[in-house]
Amino acid sequence: MAKYTEEFTKELIEGYQAQNGNYEAEQAFIVEKAKFTGHTIAGVRQKLVREKVYNAKAKTATEKNVRKAELVTQLAQLANVNEEVFETFEKANRKPLEILVGRFRAAVETVE
């Protein structure tokens, strides 16, 4: 594997920028260049980072994580029972609690 020449670096930057910010196309370009040159994908990506042209994938806005205690409170309210009945649910994993709250909420909405 040879080092990046100025000419190749220029070609790499221009080709990457020609993807017009399309993340999937940019990643495909990086993979293609890595295969073509024998460099690793991470190495090509790092070269683009050093040249200050690499665009990291934009993070999507996510709903704020609700504390497990709040999920248990919501579940108790939806089930119309005292929170203390579900107190031990706080030890459960977050994902099953989120599923239960979602299902209870959907069931309550269909009844109303």
- pLDDT by residue for the chain (112 residues), tens digit each? 568 889 989 999 999 999 888 888 999 999 999 998 889 999 999 999 999 999 887 666 555 667 888 888 888 888 888 888 888 888 888 888 888 888 888 887 777 6
Domain membership flag for residue 86: yes
The pTM of the full predicted model, rounded to 2 decimals, is 0.51
Domain membership flag for residue 60: no
Domain membership flag for residue 39: yes
d(CA 80, CA 62): 29
Same domain, 107 and 74: yes
* Domain, as residue range, for 22: 6-50
Same domain, 46 and 12: yes
Rg (CA), the chain: 25
d(CA 63, CA 61): 7
Domain membership flag for residue 1: no
Same domain, 45 and 11: yes
